[in-house]
């Protein structure tokens, strides 16, 4: 099956949105990890045990509740996705979600940091 977008799409706006989404996702993951470690410490569990308990409880939830919990634990990425992605996708026909998936699955390199 041929992908909708080529791996080497050259769209500066897609690259900027992709970079912002990945950066927001990274910050959300760091914060989630910090909270997990704090919860483990306060309950006397090892971090791996706490992670397993949390994942198990999330996996038992109905799909709509699971999505709510996931969005709550990724506020930056959720907001970033909502703000810019849809307008650009509608205007260009590009799929930013596809680019994010390609990076996360290793089919595409993460965009380089924007020079300041």
pLDDT of residue 30: 92
Orientation angle between helical segments 96-104 and 12-43, nearest 10 degrees: 60
pLDDT of residue 86: 75
H or E stretch including 62?
none
Q: Where are the domains of the chain?
A: 12-104
Q: How far is CA 86 from CA 26, 65, 107, in A?
A: 21, 23, 23
Walk along the chain (116 residues) and give the pLDDT tens digit of each residue: 555 555 556 788 888 888 888 888 888 889 989 988 999 999 999 999 998 988 898 889 898 888 888 778 777 777 766 667 777 888 888 888 888 888 888 888 888 776 55
pLDDT of residue 49: 93
Helix (H, G, I), strand (E, B) or coil at 88: helix
pLDDT of residue 34: 93
pLDDT of residue 83: 67
Q: How many CA atoms lie within 13 A of 78 on its CB side?
A: 11
């Amino acid at each position: 099956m041929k992908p909708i977008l080529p791996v080497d799409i050259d769209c500066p706006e897609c690259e900027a949105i992709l970079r912002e989404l990945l950066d927001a996702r990274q910050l959300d993951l760091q914060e989630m990890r910090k909270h997990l470690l704090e919860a483990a410490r306060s309950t006397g569990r090892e971090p791996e045990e706490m992670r397993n308990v949390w994942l198990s409880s999330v996996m038992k939830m109905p799909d709509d509740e699971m999505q709510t919990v996931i969005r709550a634990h990724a506020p930056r990425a959720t907001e970033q996705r909502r703000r810019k992605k849809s307008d650009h996708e509608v205007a260009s026909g590009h799929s930013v979600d596809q680019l994010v998936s390609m990076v996360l699955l290793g089919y595409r390199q993460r965009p380089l940091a924007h020079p300041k």
